[in-house]
Amino acid sequence: MGAIAVLLVLGGLIFFHELGHFLMARSLGIGVKAFALGFGPRLFSFTWGMTEYRLCAVPLGGYVMLAGESPDRDEDPAIPTGLLFSARPVWQRMAVVAAGPVANFLLAWGLYWALFASQGQMGLAPVIEQVLPDSPAAQAGIAPGDTVLSVDGRSIIFWEELTEKVQHSQGRTLVLELKRGAERLSVGVTPQMSLRQNIFGETVSAPMMGIVAAKEIVSVELDGAQSLKLAGKETWHAIVNMVTALVKMIERVIPADSIGGPILIAQLISREAQSGMVGLLALSAALSANLGFVNLLPIPVLDGGHLVFFSLEAVTRKPLSLRARAMAIRVGIAMLAALMLLATYNDLRRLLQ
């Protein structure tokens, strides 16, 4: 089950990425010589128009071969010049390249939407399990077992909403409506700046009340529009988290030995497949958003690198020389190979430990 899930998830994410390139190219009238499901030896194929559709032996993703994709290679003279990718305006080539990452973002959005529409929104309930001694909450008379119903007159459902209100309090006193048994009471709490560790292990100063959440889960049903909006928000959060993680890596807050590769991803997918479909779909959505972001990085070979090439062409009104492009691609391949070796080494080291 785990192995099948790994093939389906990784293969599906990469295939959907290539499908984005394919659909954009066809919508712009750019010739596509081949569109393949999988890699390796061809198991089955047929030709429709000028495109050969292939089913290959290794079900891990797919690929698209555009007519005139490489300007340094000779194309079949039977292919009209108007169908060549290299002969199209810069904006059309950029649209085809960007369509792959955009397809991954849309897939993540769709998966999150399906989850929220079918399962509702789940999260920690705003129930207090522990009140720290001498904390603002203790001084205000808040007790373990209290449920926070509203903050400053606004109802809350999830613990995350309470956390956001505290983080944005800026030293202001918050009015909390609490439920204690059958009783309802209102208290004023002024969060104090305290040191804590964030998810990256950094010690930061943040407003805190001194309370700990109980491990109670609450679920809220959502309609289609609410699910769609929340799915977009969740997709954006996944992208922002990737950007933040990349910045922390550059700042060396996240150590290099924590970087994971294909083995770690396969382990995560396999674990979620054993736990249930909901977790597997949520992980697939996050991986799809991450794949789209990674492909937009300005590294030659990746889609982001090609977008940089085309942007320079748009500014200078002439394409980057073939020699400069070849050198940049070699550098990009070396960078990706080094990153892959590091990630694989970390994965193997974790396995051995």
pLDDT tens readout for residues 243-266: 988 888 888 777 877 888 888 888
Contact predicate 347/264, CB 8 Å: yes
Give me the residues paired with residue 213 across strands.
Answer: 128
Q: Which two tokens stand for residue 10?
A: 């990784």
Q: Which two tokens stand for residue 217?
A: 């889960």
Which H or E run contains 341? helix 322-352
Contact predicate 54/33, CB 8 Å: no
Over residues 300-318, the pLDDT tens digits come to 889 999 999 999 999 998 8
Q: Closest by alpha carbon to 64, among 94, 113, 31?
A: 31
Give me the residues paired with residue 296 across strands.
Answer: none
> Mind telling me the catalytic residues?
18
Q: Which residue has the tokens 């209102």?
A: 186
Q: Which residue has the tokens 């009104």?
A: 317
Q: Which phi-psi region, left, alpha or beta, contains residue 154 (left: φ > 0; alpha: ψ -120 to 50)?
A: beta
pLDDT at 75 over 80: no
Which H or E run contains 220? strand 217-220
Q: How far is CA 319 from CA 32, 126, 212, 331, in A?
A: 22, 57, 58, 19
The confidence score (pLDDT) of residue 71 equals 64
Pick the range with the lowest mean pLDDT from 37-51, 121-135, 196-210.
196-210
Q: How far apart are CA 92 and CA 77, in angstroms?
A: 22
Q: Closest by alpha carbon to 33, among 68, 71, 4?
A: 68
Q: How far apart are CA 272 and CA 281, in angstroms?
A: 9
Q: What is the DSSP string of 47-67?
A: EETTEEEEEEEEEEEEEEEET
What average pLDDT does range 217-226 have in this prediction? 89
pLDDT at 11 over 90: no
Report, in angstroms and rounded to the nearest whole number, the Rg of the chain calculated over CA atoms.
26
Contact predicate 224/116, CB 8 Å: no
Q: What's the DSSP call for residue 319? A: P
How far from the centroid of its chain's Cα atoms is residue 262's Cα?
16
Q: Which two tokens stand for residue 38?
A: 């999988």
Confidence tier at 72 by pLDDT (50, 70, 90): low
Note the CATH number of domain 122-220. 2.30.42.10
Pick the range with the lowest mean pLDDT from 230-244, 254-268, 278-292.
254-268
CA dihedral 241, 246, 249, 251 (to 10 degrees): -100
Give the domain ranges of the chain: 100-116+222-353, 122-220
Q: Closest by alpha carbon to 227, among 126, 324, 122?
A: 122
